Structure 1
Amino acid sequence: MKNDVNGVALGVFIFFFLAVTVVGFMAARWRRAENALHLDEWGLGGRSFGTWITWFLLGGDLYTAYTFVAVPAAIYGAGAAGFFAVPYTIITYPLVFLFLPRLWSVSHRHGYVTSSDFVRGRFGSKSLSVAMALTGILATMPYIALQLVGIQAVLDVMGVGGSDSTNWFVKDLPLLIAFGVLAAYTYSSGLRAPALIAFVKDALIYIVIAVAIIYIPYKLGGFDSIFNKASAAYAVKNPKTGLPRGAVVTGPKAQWAYATLAMGSAMALFLYPHSVTAVLSGKSRNTIRRNTTILPLYSLMLGLLAMLGFMAIADGVGKGIKGYNAQLAIPQLFENMFPSWFAGVAFAAVGIGALVPAAIMSIAAANLFTRNIYKDLIKPDATPAQETRVSKIASLVVKVGALVFVLTMDKTVAINFQLLGGIWILQTMPAIVGGLFTRWFHRWALLAGWAAGMAYGTWKAYEQASPTQAHFGGSSDMIPWIGEKGYIGLTAFVLNVGIAVVLTLVLNVVKAPSGVDETVTADYVAEPEESGPSGSPQPGEPGVPGLPEPAGA
């Protein structure tokens, strides 16, 4: 931790933080409907957001503070391998263009609030639905924690708090205040708060990146000088391993790991509960289609952002400091390069960039608990008002859990559990995405495949221990049928699908009960004008006399 406080930067940071706090509380009255106590209102913003609001919400949701800190930090620490985040965010949009509009349509027709709601309705299985919900909550918790880690990194560089301080008041109070504000306006305003704040967050991020990508190279002697200094730094060998620190270009031995990590991450991104929550808040199917075509603009920004890792090396950030925390590299670069007032703007962009996704993630996890654990298993007759109240309380509990994670555990543990979360969430793909296109899979086979993928992925991640990380040391291991290192999540996913296919064939032969499908084909392609109010019986849905029975019943 620094001993001096950057007063100007801190003042600018506090100004923007207070501004978004006011916006967060004002959002409670923005587009507020009469049925404000319905979970659709608090947890999905009334399903009323148009193209631009959804675009900012999804951007604020997917491109988090940890993204702005960790992606360039990965470049800073290991070189080109950290660029995997750029191609995966490009690959993911054509994939989600195929299934997100279908998920929106069927959820709108049946009033589904979570992807687990859809799984329960599609396969008639509460067990499978609960498994999907628990996986989502488990994968989301460390993700929220890492948003708080991003805020803590910024505060540390400004000289406020920091892990090196022995004074509890100095060390943790700023983070506790930020947490308290986040919890208060999320509880009050629900999804509307991060939707409004996302406009401020994205505007700040784009301004900071536009200035940084021009101004910092100018001060460092141009990109040629930056790449030369980065190449020289990466060539220095680690005395413990005897290997170079990294490389400007990914080497042949790392290409399978790079490619599979990018592909697996692309498949997993929109399976996270917070991604689904932002999608279901859209007011129409076309809103989702349009967003999948314009969201790649964020990938362009991410590519420019990743370049900051090379710039931090060229500036000498952390040079000569043993055990330097790479997560501080980019905030420190901003303080070194920018005037104090603009450094404050950059720090505010990162800090606010933590609040938006943390709010959405806590809401999404709370919705999963309320709809798929509390209502399905504890109180099936819960009223909409009771659901909303439970979800609000659950969102606070989730945030408290994330805060405890940050305050009591080693930050590398949080980071590795987030990597593990990606492995876990990928195992929900056969049930969620597969279910959107076919009812062929048997519910018990999907549950068995999910369990096998979870067990295998967790076991393999646990095996990647290192001298500095006792457990869950990484997300890559040897791919059995290729003999090269690759993403564990993708290997576990292949095992998951293989078991689901084989067991489905067996269970269909023995005529095991397959459950009741409450959806019909038309539900998946319905345009907005064909859909009525959420949760009410619509033409083609079960419960409407004289219409066809649901497929798979």
Structure 2
Amino acid sequence: MAGARRPPRDELPHPDRWALGGRSLSTAATCLLLGGTVYTSYTYIAVPGLMFGTGGLALYALVYTTLLSPLIMILLPRLRNVAAKHDLITASDYVRARHGSHPLALATALTSILATMPYLGLQVVGLTAVLHSMGIAPKGVVSCGVLALLFMFFALVTHPGGLRACVRMSILKAVLIGIAISVLIILVVTEIGAPGRVFEMAARRSGTAGQTFGVPQQNFTAYATLALGSALAQLMYPQVLMVSMASRSKHTLRAATNFLPAWSMTLGLSAFLGIAALAVGVRAPAGHGELAVPALIRNLAPDWLSGLLFGALAVGGLLPAVVMAMSMSMLLVRNIYSEYLNPTATPKHEVRLARGTALAMMAGAVAFALLMKPQDAINLHLLGGVWILQIFPTIVVSLFTRWFHQRALFIGWAAGMAAGTGLLGLHGFSSVVDVGIGRAHAPVYVAVTALVLNLVIAAALTPVLDRLGAPRGTDCTTTGAAWERRGSNYTFIVD
């Protein structure tokens, strides 16, 4: 298939080529890489695990992934065009050029890194769940060795090639995940019966446990805000923005997005596996629903086949981990190291440092997942989802209007971060909180509540700051003005 064009052998390393593949990804490559990054192997384990443990409320994941397609199609091609026109590599590059604000760009970079690290750690948690089901102690010496070898192998594969190598990995992931889910569905139908029988058996068990496959009416607002907030948050993760900016054109990105519902369909089939696990009476420790699908595999498949299925899930989890590590390393190098510590860093130096940083981040993710309890990793990921949504006004809203003052956006971001963190902590890391005005109360996703506060404060402060004469930053994306790093001799022409 046509992917990213291979670079000439004498081509000098450059962030545009290493992190974005020279902005040359074809429709097929963009679709495979975007889908392989968004639909992580942990998602294929966690969604059926939620279905197994909580019932129909878990289906919000299918709704939010379905919402992703129109949202990406509307919002990200515009960002991709601005980034390509002005040679911007990261979201923080865009914020710096668009708002002319160093603090806002730094806040965007730090938020993206802090929110994505737990997400990267969750990929390792998913792998440890697979190893646990294979009879390997999750925190034993063998487990550590297997994880280290897997991550180092794939990291070294992408070390020189960057995103171009990830395109080839995405083909492997799509094939493995497709085969694994197809085989599991066949096993379920063969061993248990038709889908109707599976649902009937699961309904009897879920009725006994007090679960339901539908969404209770009183939880509708929680369901809706979880789906919408998760979809908007997913757009802000650096790995999604990086793949989007790497597409060949805005038309290529839109065409690739048309095929994302196929990934959502495979996720829906995986949710059915959670119902199948409930139907056959799979037992999973309380709070460890992610073990339901691996346990189902052990229950239905012979040893030789279960080993192959576990291997497919494990290998499929490495692609998003690699892309996450690459995207975070570019933010760290370009928008923190080069901006504040070494403003004279050359593009070649940035790529070399980003390669090493990506390897270090993957090693850190393995240590993070092994040293922490799975529930702690999940709680931090919930917190990361709240945080990452707070940069939505700074990036997405600014694509359509420059009305907001950059200082108002910064204060709104800080308020949203503080409010979201506080609400999540006060409610025991429950992602849904009760919000009410007078007698009207409804459960709402924490991240959406914090985002509304963020936007309200930014909107209220903008006219106040303008009236006080607070200077606005230069918008280099529309004026064609040059911008440079702090203390740098290098000037970036934005025309």
TM class by smaller structure: over 0.9
Match of 1:172 in 2: 144
1:195 paired with 2:153, answer: no
Residue-by-residue CA offset, 1:211-268 (whole Å, 9 max, x unaligned): 333431231122222222222222335xxxxxx2x21111112211111100101111
Residue-by-residue CA offset, 1:450-483 (whole Å, 9 max, x unaligned): 0000000000110122xxxxxxx22110123451
Quick one: percent identity of the two aligned structures? 41
Q: Is the 8 A contact 2:148 2:363 kept in 1?
A: no
Match of 1:265 in 2: 230
Q: Displacement, 1:487?
A: 0.2
Q: Is the 8 A contact 1:28 1:189 kept in 2?
A: no
Match of 1:93 in 2: 69
Residue-by-residue CA offset, 1:477-526 (whole Å, 9 max, x unaligned): 01234511110000000000000001111111122110101012999xxx
Q: What letter corresponds to residue 404 of structure 1 in structure 2?
A: A
Q: 1:254 to 1:121 in 2, by over 3 A?
A: same
Among 432, 444, 451, the residue aligned to 1:476: 432
Q: 1:425 to 1:131 in 2, by over 3 A?
A: same
Q: Displacement, 1:28?
A: 12
Match of 1:439 in 2: 402
Q: What letter corresponds to residue 469 of structure 2 in structure 1?
A: K
Q: Displacement, 1:377?
A: 1.3
CA separation in 2, counterparts of 1:28 and 1:91? 27
Q: 1:180 to 1:229 in 2, by over 3 A?
A: same
Q: Displacement, 1:396?
A: 2.2
Among 368, 371, 374, the residue aligned to 2:331: 368
Among 362, 365, 377, the residue aligned to 1:402: 365
Among 290, 302, 311, the residue aligned to 2:255: 290
Residue pairs, 1:119-138, within 5 angstroms: 119-138=95-114
Q: Is the 8 A contact 2:128 2:138 kept in 1?
A: yes
Residue-by-residue CA offset, 1:158-183 (whole Å, 9 max, x unaligned): 223324xxxx4234222222232233
Residue pairs, 1:341-490, within 5 angstroms: 341-465=304-428, 473-481=429-437, 482-490=440-448
Match of 2:450 in 1: 492
Q: Is the 8 A contact 2:4 2:29 kept in 1?
A: no
Q: Is the 8 A contact 1:271 1:425 kept in 2?
A: yes
Residue pairs, 1:220-235, within 5 angstroms: 220-235=192-207
CA separation in 1, counterparts of 2:280 and 2:113? 40
Match of 2:123 in 1: 147
Match of 2:178 in 1: 206
CA separation in 2, counterparts of 1:405 and 1:96? 31
CA separation in 2, counterparts of 1:190 and 1:176? 20
Among 32, 39, 50, the residue aligned to 1:56: 32
Q: If the length of structure 2 is used for normalisation, what is the TM-score?
A: 0.93
CA separation in 2, counterparts of 1:113 and 1:183? 21
Match of 2:478 in 1: 520
CA separation in 1, counterparts of 2:492 and 2:102? 21
Q: What letter corresponds to residue 228 of structure 1 in structure 2?
A: E
Q: Is the 8 A contact 2:424 2:431 kept in 1?
A: yes
CA separation in 1, counterparts of 2:165 and 2:396? 29
Match of 1:551 in 2: none
Q: Displacement, 1:340?
A: 3.4
Q: If the length of structure 1 is used for normalisation, what is the TM-score?
A: 0.83
CA separation in 2, counterparts of 1:203 and 1:64? 14
Which piece of structure 1 moves more, 98-107 or 39-48?
39-48
Q: What letter corresponds to residue 47 of structure 1 in structure 2?
A: R
Secondary structure of the residue aligned to 2:153 is: helix
Among 267, 273, 288, the residue aligned to 1:308: 273
**What is the RMSD of the two structures over their aligned residues, measured on CA atoms?**
2.1
Q: 1:66 to 1:507 in 2, by over 3 A?
A: same
Q: What letter corresponds to residue 359 of structure 1 in structure 2?
A: V
Q: Is the 8 A contact 2:180 2:313 kept in 1?
A: no
Q: Is the 8 A contact 1:33 1:46 kept in 2?
A: no
Residue-by-residue CA offset, 1:352-394 (whole Å, 9 max, x unaligned): 2211000000000001111111111112221001111121122
Q: Is the 8 A contact 1:36 1:42 kept in 2?
A: no
Q: Is the 8 A contact 2:30 2:256 kept in 1?
A: yes
CA separation in 1, counterparts of 2:340 and 2:84? 23
1:44 paired with 2:20, answer: yes
Match of 1:23 in 2: none
1:68 paired with 2:31, answer: no
Q: Displacement, 1:118?
A: 0.4
Q: 1:421 to 1:322 in 2, by over 3 A?
A: closer
Match of 1:24 in 2: none
Secondary structure of the residue aligned to 1:484 is: strand
Among 317, 321, 325, the residue aligned to 2:282: 317
Q: What letter corresponds to residue 271 of structure 1 in structure 2?
A: M
Residue-by-residue CA offset, 1:332-365 (whole Å, 9 max, x unaligned): 2122222334323322221122110000000000
CA separation in 2, counterparts of 1:159 and 1:322? 15
Unaligned runs of 5+ in 2: 482-490
Q: 1:444 to 1:154 in 2, by over 3 A?
A: same
Residue-by-residue CA offset, 1:6-64 (whole Å, 9 max, x unaligned): xxxxxxxxxxxxxxxxxxxxx99954564341111221122211100111100110000
Which piece of structure 1 moves more, 439-448 or 218-227?
218-227
Q: What letter corresponds to residue 455 of structure 2 in structure 1?
A: V
Q: What letter corresponds to residue 259 of structure 1 in structure 2?
A: A
Q: 1:185 to 1:290 in 2, by over 3 A?
A: same
Which piece of structure 1 moves more, 401-410 or 257-266?
401-410
Which piece of structure 1 moves more, 279-288 or 227-236?
227-236
Match of 1:509 in 2: 467
CA separation in 2, counterparts of 1:131 and 1:522? 24
Among 143, 146, 155, the residue aligned to 1:183: 155
Secondary structure of the residue aligned to 2:378 is: helix
CA separation in 1, counterparts of 2:89 and 2:448? 27
Number of equivalent positions: 482
Q: What letter corresponds to residue 160 of structure 1 in structure 2?
A: I
Q: 1:322 to 1:91 in 2, by over 3 A?
A: closer
Q: Is the 8 A contact 2:4 2:25 kept in 1?
A: no
CA separation in 1, counterparts of 2:6 and 2:302? 36
CA separation in 2, counterparts of 1:509 and 1:40? 40
Q: What letter corresponds to residue 434 of structure 1 in structure 2?
A: V
